[in-house]
Amino acid sequence: MLFSAMVRVCVIGAGAAGVCAARHLLVEPCVDHVDIFEQASQLGGTWVYTEKVGYDDFGLPIHSSMYKSLRTNLPKEIMGFPDFPVPESEKSYLPAKEMLSFLQLYADKHQVTDRINFNHHVNLVIPKAGPSGELWDVSFKNLLNGESETREYDYVFVCNGHYNTPFIPNIPGLKEFQGDVMHSHDYRVPEIFSGKRVLVVGAGPSGMDIALEVTNVAHKVILSHHLKEQPRTVFPDNLTQKPDVKRLDGKKVHFADESEDEVDVVFLCTGYLYNFPFLHESCNISVEDNCVEPLYKHLVNIHHPTMCFIGVPYYVCAFSMFDLQVRYYIRSINGTFSLPSTEEMIAHWEEEKKDRASRGYTKRQAHMMGPDQEKYYASLATEAGTKSLPSVLTKIREESSIRFLHNLKHYRQDVYKIIDDNTYEIVNDAAR
Ligand code: FAD
């Protein structure tokens, strides 16, 4: 092992990613001190349900996009951490509240909770030259007493999540639409759509789920999407599927297939933007069309490798991936392996972009894993000499995603059981 000095680390955010980072950092011998800053009064990030929308008591945008009825869209068997699975229970698909309790349990078990600085909002991160390398100045505000402070660190873990800043698509006529326009970030309960004609734009996990829920109260629901594979899910009679929206005109919707309809609400389930408002421009991270760059392995800030981002890739086994990313990065800190040179990391990232483009991925899909996830996990594990994730996780993820698309109403009744690192069984099969 190479020599490594004792280091001071800052973790920004205490959602699943930040808690996972803290869990490993707190037991890492080369880490002298860890500060974990969380702007909310509790841990869990996304999994904290609140009825509030807009801004919180301190004037910060509400972070969580959680809706009241949410149950996970992946089975609990692949939602745990490698060293801390979700406890046994009858169901595979859990309510958000149970996932939040699980995260709380994980944080308590590893003595993370007591170490979190709650109600601390990070507002600026700037690199600066230190006597023996680069350091970071992190400025934060204690929201309870209004006091601001700046502290110096050797490493920064950015764990602020990326399901909180709504992406608003550029639909002609949207600004002038004569009904209501809303993003799924602000969706909590279906009753707000009672008796209305609702256009749901987007058929990602939230779009499909919410569209189905809204059919219970709305007069009619139009689900507009461009999924390559048509869902075989049988929707209620008051839901129709349409292609992309071409333009809006008053309350009229014109679709790409030249058909038109009239609606009261445009409900955007169009996803989220990566957003790092606290990073000073000298951190050299740009976000354009949801591509965060330049990052080595979607994780390391190439121009300032003492900064990492946990959780950027999506369509992954999230908590397990966070754990692997954290283990990888800590191994680069403690000298188990050395990160490549700046030039090599840039070349790697450029090569990956080229490869993705050649396979038809758009810039907006720069961090989409899906079928690439197993290769991604293996590349992290191999480089850092740490354990990868068992392929059974990705197999279950794939199965669950297919069932989500084609059996939306019932797939959450499936119950999975992991047999070994490669095999699983569906012990209760809703499709049968
Ligand atoms: P977050 O959970 O967003 O946590 C980030 C934390 O950082 C927050 O607590 C926030 O308050 C804090 N923070 C942000 N900025 C600052 C700052 N400046 N200073 C201090 N603190 C800050 N994934 C699944 O695997 N399965 C699912 O079923 C699933 N369902 C989902 C449903 C919905 C509606 C949404 C929105 C997401 C879902 N996800 C699901 C994705 C889920 O968000 C991730 O799995 C994971 O919880 C993200 O964790 P995170 O720590 O990266 O981010």
Backbone φ, ψ for residue 358 (5° rounding): -65, -20
pLDDT at 208 over 70: yes
Residues 96 and 110 in one domain: yes
How many separate domains does the chain show? 2
Among 46, 141, 322, 323, the mutation site with the greatest number of ligand 1 atoms within 8 A of its Cβ is: 46
pLDDT digits (tens, 9 = 90+) for 337-367: 999 999 999 999 999 999 999 999 999 999 9
Residues 103 and 200 in one domain: no
Q: How far, in Å, from the CA of 302 to the mean position of ligand 1?
A: 24
Atom of ligand 1 minimally distant from the CA of 278? 18
pLDDT digits (tens, 9 = 90+) for 101-144: 999 999 999 999 999 999 999 999 999 999 989 999 999 999 99
Atom of ligand 1 minimally distant from the CA of 73? 28
297 lies in a domain?
A: yes
Give the distance from CA 270 to its chain's centroid.
14
400 lies in a domain?
A: no
Residue of minimum CA distance from atom 49 in ligand 1? 16
Q: How far, in Å, from the CA of 44 to the mean position of ligand 1?
A: 7
Residues 104 and 89 in one domain: yes
Among 163, 283, 403, the mutation site with the greatest number of ligand 1 atoms within 8 A of its Cβ is: 163
pLDDT digits (tens, 9 = 90+) for 27-58: 999 999 999 999 999 999 999 999 999 999 99
Residues 223 and 294 in one domain: no
Assign residue 20 the CATH number of its domain: 3.50.50.60
Q: How far, in Å, from the CA of 169 to the mean position of ligand 1?
A: 22
Atom of ligand 1 minimally distant from the CA of 162? 3
Q: What is the mean pLDDT of the chain?
A: 97
CA distance linking residue 258 with residue 391, whole number of Å: 44
Give residue 228's pLDDT.
Answer: 87
Q: How far, in Å, from the CA of 45 to the mean position of ligand 1?
A: 5
397 lies in a domain?
A: no
19 lies in a domain?
A: yes
Question: Within 13 Å and on the Cβ side, how many CA atoms surround 388?
Answer: 18
* Neighbouring C-beta atoms of residue 209, cutoff 10 Å: 21
100 lies in a domain?
A: yes
Q: How far, in Å, from the CA of 240 to the mean position of ligand 1?
A: 31
User: Which strands sit side by side in the sheet containing 116-117, from one edge to the other?
Assistant: 116-117, 31-37, 7-12, 155-158, 307-309, 300-301, 295-296
175 lies in a domain?
A: no
Closest CA to 107 of 41, 22, 37: 22
Residue of minimum CA distance from atom 50 in ligand 1? 161
Residues 118 and 30 in one domain: yes
Residue of minimum CA distance from atom 30 in ligand 1? 72
Residues 19 and 42 in one domain: yes
Question: Domain ends where: 211, 244, 268?
Answer: 268
Atom of ligand 1 minimally distant from the CA of 310? 52
Q: How far, in Å, from the CA of 110 to the mean position of ligand 1?
A: 20
Residues 223 and 240 in one domain: yes
Quick check: bond before 172 cis, omega within 30? no
Backbone φ, ψ for residue 60 (5° rounding): -90, 145
Q: How far, in Å, from the CA of 160 to the mean position of ligand 1?
A: 7
Among 113, 149, 160, 308, the mutation site with the greatest number of ligand 1 atoms within 8 A of its Cβ is: 160
CA distance linking residue 298 with residue 316, whole number of Å: 13
Q: How far, in Å, from the CA of 416 to the mean position of ligand 1?
A: 24
Question: Domain ends where: 392, 407, 424?
Answer: 392
CA distance linking residue 302 with residue 199, whole number of Å: 42
49 lies in a domain?
A: yes
- For ligand 1, which residues put their CB under 6 angstroms from it? 12-18, 37-40, 45-46, 63, 65-66, 70, 72-74, 79, 121-122, 159-161, 163-164, 206, 278, 311, 318
pLDDT at 22 over 80: yes
pTM: 0.97
- Residue 5's pLDDT band (boundaries 50, 70, 90)? confident
Phi-psi map region of 289: left, alpha, beta (phi>0 left; psi -120 to 50 alpha): left
Q: Which residues in 384-410 are b (16+ Cβ under 10 Å) and which e?
A: bebebbbebbbbbbebbbebbbebbee
pLDDT at 2 over 50: no
Q: Are strands 120-130 and 116-117 parallel, antiparallel or unpaired?
A: unpaired
The fraction of the chain above a pLDDT of 70, given in percent, is 99
Question: Domain ends where: 207, 240, 268?
Answer: 268
170 lies in a domain?
A: no
CA distance linking residue 19 with residue 25, whole number of Å: 10
Residues 233 and 315 in one domain: no
Contact 106, 81 (CB under 8 A): yes
Q: How far, in Å, from the CA of 355 to the mean position of ligand 1?
A: 29
3-state secondary structure the chain: CCCCCCEEEEEECCCHHHHHHHHHHCCCCCEEEEEEECCCCCCCHHHCCCCCCCECCCCCECCCCCCCCCECCCCHHHCCECCECCCCCCCCCCEHHHHHHHHHHHHHHCCCHHHEECCEEEEEEEEEEECCEEEEEEEEEECCCCCEEEEEECEEEECCCCCCCECCCCCCCCCCCCCEEEEHHHCCCHHHHCCCEEEEECCCHHHHHHHHHHCCCCCEEEEECCCCCCCCCCCCCCEEEECCEEEEECCEEEECCCCEEECCEEEECCCECCCCCCECHHHCCEEECCEEECEECCCEECCCCCEEECCCCECCCHHHHHHHHHHHHHHHHCCCCCCCCHHHHHHHHHHHHHHHHHCCCCHHHCCECHHHHHHHHHHHHHHHCCCCCCHHHHHHHHHHHHHHHHCCCCHHHCEEEECCCCCEEEEECCCC
Q: How far, in Å, from the CA of 190 to the mean position of ligand 1?
A: 22
* Neighbouring C-beta atoms of residue 327, cutoff 10 Å: 19
pLDDT digits (tens, 9 = 90+) for 218-257: 999 999 999 988 899 999 999 999 999 999 999 999 999 9
Residues 18 and 143 in one domain: yes
Range of the domain at 264: 180-268
CA distance linking residue 353 with residue 169, whole number of Å: 24
C-alpha dist (Å) from residue 268 to 168, 223, 354: 7, 10, 31
Give residue 4's pLDDT.
Answer: 57
- Residue 306's pLDDT band (boundaries 50, 70, 90)? very high
- Residue 431's pLDDT band (boundaries 50, 70, 90)? confident
Residues 217 and 113 in one domain: no
Tokens representing 67?
């809706």
CA distance linking residue 206 with residue 156, whole number of Å: 31
Residues 293 and 343 in one domain: yes
Residues 100 and 248 in one domain: no
Taking the CA atoms of 262, 266, 269 and 275 in sequence, report the sign of the dihedral they define. Answer: positive
